[in-house]
Structure 1
Amino acid sequence: MIPSWIIIGAITFFIALGSFLITPRDVKWFAQLSRPHWLVFELLIPLIWTVIFISGATSAYIVWQKNPGSLITWLLMALYLLVEIITVAYIPLMLRFRSLKTGEILGLIGLILAIGLAICVLPISLMAALLLLPYLVWTPIGTYTTDELKELNPQDA
Protein backbone atom coordinates (compact mmCIF):
# COMPACT_ATOMS: atom_id res chain seq x y z
CA MET A 1 0.00 0.00 0.00
CA ILE A 2 1.24 3.49 -0.87
CA PRO A 3 1.88 5.64 2.22
CA SER A 4 -0.64 8.45 2.69
CA TRP A 5 2.05 11.14 2.73
CA ILE A 6 3.09 10.15 -0.79
CA ILE A 7 -0.50 10.24 -2.05
CA ILE A 8 -1.19 13.63 -0.43
CA GLY A 9 2.11 15.03 -1.71
CA ALA A 10 1.50 13.74 -5.23
CA ILE A 11 -2.03 15.17 -5.37
CA THR A 12 -0.72 18.52 -4.11
CA PHE A 13 2.06 18.48 -6.71
CA PHE A 14 -0.19 17.54 -9.63
CA ILE A 15 -2.82 20.14 -8.75
CA ALA A 16 -0.06 22.76 -8.45
CA LEU A 17 0.96 21.90 -12.03
CA GLY A 18 -2.29 23.57 -13.06
CA SER A 19 -0.43 26.86 -12.80
CA PHE A 20 1.32 25.87 -16.03
CA LEU A 21 -1.92 26.57 -17.90
CA ILE A 22 -0.58 30.10 -18.36
CA THR A 23 0.27 31.18 -21.89
CA PRO A 24 3.01 33.67 -22.84
CA ARG A 25 0.30 36.03 -24.13
CA ASP A 26 -1.33 36.00 -20.68
CA VAL A 27 1.99 36.66 -18.93
CA LYS A 28 2.69 39.60 -21.24
CA TRP A 29 -0.58 41.27 -20.17
CA PHE A 30 0.26 40.85 -16.48
CA ALA A 31 3.87 42.01 -16.91
CA GLN A 32 2.68 45.29 -18.42
CA LEU A 33 0.50 46.20 -15.43
CA SER A 34 1.61 49.04 -13.16
CA ARG A 35 2.64 47.79 -9.73
CA PRO A 36 2.54 49.39 -6.28
CA HIS A 37 5.90 50.88 -5.27
CA TRP A 38 5.96 48.68 -2.16
CA LEU A 39 5.74 45.45 -4.18
CA VAL A 40 9.43 44.58 -3.77
CA PHE A 41 8.92 40.90 -2.90
CA GLU A 42 7.44 39.76 -6.22
CA LEU A 43 10.40 37.48 -7.03
CA LEU A 44 9.84 35.63 -3.73
CA ILE A 45 6.22 34.76 -4.48
CA PRO A 46 6.97 31.32 -6.05
CA LEU A 47 9.04 30.38 -2.99
CA ILE A 48 6.33 31.65 -0.65
CA TRP A 49 3.69 29.55 -2.42
CA THR A 50 5.95 26.50 -2.36
CA VAL A 51 6.22 26.81 1.44
CA ILE A 52 2.44 27.32 1.68
CA PHE A 53 1.68 24.22 -0.41
CA ILE A 54 4.12 22.08 1.59
CA SER A 55 2.61 23.35 4.84
CA GLY A 56 -0.91 22.63 3.57
CA ALA A 57 0.01 19.12 2.44
CA THR A 58 1.67 18.44 5.79
CA SER A 59 -1.46 19.69 7.55
CA ALA A 60 -3.61 17.36 5.44
CA TYR A 61 -1.28 14.45 6.22
CA ILE A 62 -1.55 15.10 9.98
CA VAL A 63 -5.35 15.23 9.76
CA TRP A 64 -5.43 12.01 7.72
CA GLN A 65 -3.19 10.24 10.24
CA LYS A 66 -5.50 11.16 13.13
CA ASN A 67 -8.47 9.24 11.71
CA PRO A 68 -7.66 7.71 8.32
CA GLY A 69 -10.56 6.86 6.09
CA SER A 70 -13.38 8.26 8.23
CA LEU A 71 -16.14 10.26 6.57
CA ILE A 72 -15.10 13.46 8.38
CA THR A 73 -11.49 12.97 7.28
CA TRP A 74 -12.55 12.43 3.66
CA LEU A 75 -14.68 15.58 3.80
CA LEU A 76 -11.73 17.53 5.19
CA MET A 77 -9.49 16.13 2.43
CA ALA A 78 -12.07 17.37 -0.09
CA LEU A 79 -11.92 20.81 1.52
CA TYR A 80 -8.10 20.81 1.39
CA LEU A 81 -8.39 19.87 -2.28
CA LEU A 82 -10.92 22.61 -3.00
CA VAL A 83 -8.72 25.24 -1.31
CA GLU A 84 -5.74 24.15 -3.42
CA ILE A 85 -7.74 24.12 -6.66
CA ILE A 86 -9.08 27.64 -5.98
CA THR A 87 -5.55 28.79 -5.12
CA VAL A 88 -3.96 27.31 -8.22
CA ALA A 89 -6.79 28.63 -10.42
CA TYR A 90 -6.15 32.21 -9.27
CA ILE A 91 -3.30 33.05 -11.66
CA PRO A 92 -4.41 31.15 -14.81
CA LEU A 93 -8.00 32.43 -14.61
CA MET A 94 -7.01 35.99 -13.78
CA LEU A 95 -4.57 36.02 -16.66
CA ARG A 96 -6.83 34.18 -19.10
CA PHE A 97 -9.73 36.58 -18.48
CA ARG A 98 -7.37 39.55 -18.10
CA SER A 99 -9.37 40.46 -15.04
CA LEU A 100 -7.85 41.47 -11.73
CA LYS A 101 -11.35 41.24 -10.24
CA THR A 102 -11.36 37.51 -11.05
CA GLY A 103 -8.13 37.12 -9.11
CA GLU A 104 -9.45 39.13 -6.20
CA ILE A 105 -12.65 37.06 -6.02
CA LEU A 106 -10.73 33.77 -6.12
CA GLY A 107 -8.36 35.06 -3.43
CA LEU A 108 -11.28 35.92 -1.15
CA ILE A 109 -12.99 32.58 -1.78
CA GLY A 110 -9.74 30.75 -0.99
CA LEU A 111 -9.30 32.74 2.21
CA ILE A 112 -12.86 32.07 3.40
CA LEU A 113 -12.55 28.35 2.66
CA ALA A 114 -9.15 28.18 4.39
CA ILE A 115 -10.53 29.89 7.50
CA GLY A 116 -13.33 27.32 7.57
CA LEU A 117 -10.80 24.53 7.07
CA ALA A 118 -8.60 25.80 9.90
CA ILE A 119 -11.61 26.00 12.23
CA CYS A 120 -12.60 22.41 11.34
CA VAL A 121 -9.05 21.11 11.70
CA LEU A 122 -8.27 22.84 15.02
CA PRO A 123 -10.10 20.31 17.25
CA ILE A 124 -8.37 17.47 15.41
CA SER A 125 -4.81 18.82 15.57
CA LEU A 126 -3.40 22.13 16.71
CA MET A 127 -0.29 21.49 14.59
CA ALA A 128 -2.39 20.86 11.47
CA ALA A 129 -4.24 24.13 12.08
CA LEU A 130 -0.97 26.02 12.67
CA LEU A 131 0.39 24.68 9.37
CA LEU A 132 -2.47 26.52 7.65
CA LEU A 133 -1.27 29.85 9.06
CA PRO A 134 1.11 30.61 6.16
CA TYR A 135 -1.88 30.41 3.79
CA LEU A 136 -4.07 32.43 6.14
CA VAL A 137 -1.41 35.14 6.47
CA TRP A 138 -0.30 35.28 2.83
CA THR A 139 -3.67 35.12 1.08
CA PRO A 140 -4.89 38.48 2.43
CA ILE A 141 -1.56 40.00 1.33
CA GLY A 142 -1.99 38.59 -2.16
CA THR A 143 -5.63 39.65 -2.33
CA TYR A 144 -4.76 43.15 -1.12
CA THR A 145 -1.98 43.35 -3.71
CA THR A 146 -4.47 42.37 -6.41
CA ASP A 147 -6.81 45.09 -5.16
CA GLU A 148 -3.96 47.61 -5.37
CA LEU A 149 -3.22 46.43 -8.92
CA LYS A 150 -6.88 47.12 -9.74
CA GLU A 151 -6.53 50.66 -8.42
CA LEU A 152 -3.37 51.28 -10.47
CA ASN A 153 -4.77 49.61 -13.59
CA PRO A 154 -8.50 50.43 -13.72
CA GLN A 155 -8.69 49.46 -17.38
CA ASP A 156 -7.72 45.90 -16.36
CA ALA A 157 -9.90 45.61 -13.28
Structure 2
Amino acid sequence: MIKSWMVIGGVAFIVAAAGSLITSSDRKWFQRLQRPRWLTFEGAIPLIWTTIFICGAWSAYIIWEREPGSSNTWLLMSLYLLLEIVTIAYTPVMFRLRSLKVGTILGGTGLIICIILTLAVLSISGWAALLLVPYLLWSPIGTYTTWKMMSLNPQDI
Protein backbone atom coordinates (compact mmCIF):
# COMPACT_ATOMS: atom_id res chain seq x y z
CA MET A 1 0.00 0.00 0.00
CA ILE A 2 1.22 3.47 -0.85
CA LYS A 3 1.73 5.58 2.25
CA SER A 4 0.35 9.12 2.45
CA TRP A 5 3.80 10.59 3.01
CA MET A 6 4.93 9.01 -0.26
CA VAL A 7 2.08 10.62 -2.20
CA ILE A 8 2.61 14.03 -0.55
CA GLY A 9 6.37 13.85 -1.12
CA GLY A 10 5.88 12.64 -4.71
CA VAL A 11 3.48 15.46 -5.57
CA ALA A 12 5.83 18.01 -3.98
CA PHE A 13 8.75 16.60 -5.96
CA ILE A 14 6.84 16.63 -9.28
CA VAL A 15 5.71 20.24 -8.80
CA ALA A 16 9.24 21.28 -7.79
CA ALA A 17 10.73 19.52 -10.83
CA ALA A 18 8.35 21.40 -13.12
CA GLY A 19 9.75 24.64 -11.73
CA SER A 20 13.22 23.79 -13.00
CA LEU A 21 12.16 24.31 -16.61
CA ILE A 22 14.18 27.43 -17.30
CA THR A 23 16.44 28.15 -20.25
CA SER A 24 20.06 29.25 -20.23
CA SER A 25 19.02 32.66 -21.58
CA ASP A 26 16.62 32.96 -18.62
CA ARG A 27 19.49 32.19 -16.26
CA LYS A 28 21.75 34.68 -18.01
CA TRP A 29 19.10 37.40 -17.65
CA PHE A 30 18.89 36.79 -13.92
CA GLN A 31 22.66 36.51 -13.44
CA ARG A 32 23.26 39.94 -14.95
CA LEU A 33 20.84 41.69 -12.57
CA GLN A 34 22.26 43.90 -9.86
CA ARG A 35 21.62 42.76 -6.31
CA PRO A 36 21.48 44.63 -3.02
CA ARG A 37 24.89 44.79 -1.30
CA TRP A 38 23.48 43.04 1.77
CA LEU A 39 22.51 39.97 -0.30
CA THR A 40 25.42 37.84 0.88
CA PHE A 41 23.42 34.65 1.44
CA GLU A 42 22.35 33.95 -2.16
CA GLY A 43 24.26 30.65 -2.22
CA ALA A 44 22.20 29.38 0.71
CA ILE A 45 18.83 30.08 -0.91
CA PRO A 46 18.42 26.60 -2.51
CA LEU A 47 19.11 24.94 0.86
CA ILE A 48 16.70 27.33 2.60
CA TRP A 49 13.90 26.58 0.12
CA THR A 50 14.57 22.83 0.27
CA THR A 51 14.15 22.98 4.05
CA ILE A 52 10.97 25.04 3.70
CA PHE A 53 9.47 22.56 1.21
CA ILE A 54 10.32 19.61 3.47
CA CYS A 55 8.63 21.39 6.38
CA GLY A 56 5.59 22.14 4.20
CA ALA A 57 5.28 18.52 3.06
CA TRP A 58 5.63 17.33 6.66
CA SER A 59 2.92 19.79 7.69
CA ALA A 60 0.64 18.45 4.94
CA TYR A 61 1.33 14.89 6.08
CA ILE A 62 0.32 15.72 9.66
CA ILE A 63 -2.93 17.30 8.45
CA TRP A 64 -3.72 14.38 6.15
CA GLU A 65 -3.14 11.84 8.92
CA ARG A 66 -5.49 13.69 11.31
CA GLU A 67 -8.56 13.17 9.10
CA PRO A 68 -7.58 11.32 5.91
CA GLY A 69 -9.89 11.77 2.96
CA SER A 70 -12.34 14.21 4.56
CA SER A 71 -13.57 17.12 2.46
CA ASN A 72 -11.86 19.57 4.84
CA THR A 73 -8.57 17.70 4.50
CA TRP A 74 -8.83 17.70 0.70
CA LEU A 75 -9.49 21.44 0.79
CA LEU A 76 -6.38 21.96 2.91
CA MET A 77 -4.35 19.71 0.59
CA SER A 78 -5.45 21.90 -2.31
CA LEU A 79 -4.18 24.96 -0.40
CA TYR A 80 -0.83 23.23 0.22
CA LEU A 81 -0.65 22.41 -3.50
CA LEU A 82 -1.59 25.96 -4.51
CA LEU A 83 1.08 27.33 -2.18
CA GLU A 84 3.73 25.10 -3.73
CA ILE A 85 2.65 25.92 -7.29
CA VAL A 86 2.74 29.67 -6.65
CA THR A 87 6.10 29.36 -4.91
CA ILE A 88 7.65 27.19 -7.60
CA ALA A 89 6.20 29.45 -10.34
CA TYR A 90 8.26 32.38 -9.01
CA THR A 91 11.45 31.46 -10.84
CA PRO A 92 10.26 30.22 -14.25
CA VAL A 93 7.53 32.85 -14.63
CA MET A 94 9.73 35.74 -13.50
CA PHE A 95 12.59 34.51 -15.68
CA ARG A 96 10.42 33.92 -18.74
CA LEU A 97 8.70 37.30 -18.45
CA ARG A 98 11.95 38.93 -17.33
CA SER A 99 10.00 40.87 -14.77
CA LEU A 100 11.04 41.44 -11.16
CA LYS A 101 7.59 42.93 -10.56
CA VAL A 102 5.99 39.59 -11.44
CA GLY A 103 8.42 37.87 -9.05
CA THR A 104 7.50 40.30 -6.28
CA ILE A 105 3.78 39.70 -6.88
CA LEU A 106 4.23 35.92 -6.84
CA GLY A 107 6.31 36.15 -3.64
CA GLY A 108 3.64 38.25 -1.92
CA THR A 109 0.89 35.92 -3.14
CA GLY A 110 2.73 32.94 -1.66
CA LEU A 111 3.00 34.71 1.68
CA ILE A 112 -0.74 35.47 1.73
CA ILE A 113 -1.61 31.87 0.87
CA CYS A 114 0.73 30.61 3.60
CA ILE A 115 -0.83 32.92 6.19
CA ILE A 116 -4.30 31.60 5.27
CA LEU A 117 -3.06 28.00 5.34
CA THR A 118 -1.30 28.45 8.68
CA LEU A 119 -4.43 29.91 10.27
CA ALA A 120 -6.53 27.10 8.78
CA VAL A 121 -4.32 24.29 10.11
CA LEU A 122 -3.62 25.88 13.49
CA SER A 123 -6.87 24.57 14.99
CA ILE A 124 -6.11 21.07 13.67
CA SER A 125 -2.45 20.77 14.63
CA GLY A 126 -0.08 23.20 16.26
CA TRP A 127 2.85 21.20 14.86
CA ALA A 128 1.51 21.47 11.30
CA ALA A 129 1.17 25.23 11.75
CA LEU A 130 4.63 25.48 13.31
CA LEU A 131 6.15 23.70 10.31
CA LEU A 132 4.84 26.53 8.09
CA VAL A 133 6.69 29.18 10.13
CA PRO A 134 9.92 28.85 8.09
CA TYR A 135 7.92 29.84 4.99
CA LEU A 136 6.31 32.72 6.87
CA LEU A 137 9.74 33.96 7.97
CA TRP A 138 11.64 33.47 4.72
CA SER A 139 9.04 34.47 2.11
CA PRO A 140 8.99 38.14 3.14
CA ILE A 141 12.80 38.22 2.93
CA GLY A 142 12.80 36.78 -0.59
CA THR A 143 9.93 39.01 -1.68
CA TYR A 144 11.61 42.10 -0.23
CA THR A 145 14.87 41.17 -1.96
CA THR A 146 13.10 40.88 -5.32
CA TRP A 147 11.30 44.17 -4.70
CA LYS A 148 14.58 45.84 -3.79
CA MET A 149 16.15 44.49 -6.98
CA MET A 150 13.49 46.37 -8.97
CA SER A 151 15.00 49.71 -7.94
CA LEU A 152 18.49 48.46 -8.86
CA ASN A 153 17.29 47.16 -12.24
CA PRO A 154 14.58 49.56 -13.44
CA GLN A 155 14.79 48.18 -16.99
CA ASP A 156 13.59 44.77 -15.68
CA ILE A 157 10.50 45.77 -13.74
TM-score bracket for the superposition, by shorter chain length: over 0.9
Percent same amino acid among aligned pairs? 61
Match of 2:35?
35
Match of 1:46?
46
Cα deviation, residue 143, structure 1: 0.3
Match of 1:74?
74
Deviations 1:59-88 (A, max 9, x none): 000000000000000000000000000000
Counterparts of 1:54-73 in structure 2, within 5 Å, are: 54-73=54-73
Structure 2, unaligned stretches of length 5 or more?
none
Cα deviation, residue 135, structure 1: 0.5
Asked whether 1:21 is paired with 2:8, we answer: no
Give the TM-score, by structure 1 length.
0.99
Moved over 4 A (4+): none
Aligned residues between the structures: 157
Structure 1, unaligned stretches of length 5 or more?
none
Give the TM-score, by structure 2 length.
0.99
Deviations 1:84-141 (A, max 9, x none): 0000000000000000000000011110000000000000000000000011100000
1:28 alignment partner AA? K
CA distance in 1 between counterparts of 2:45 and 2:9 reads 20
CA distance in 1 between counterparts of 2:120 and 2:55 reads 17
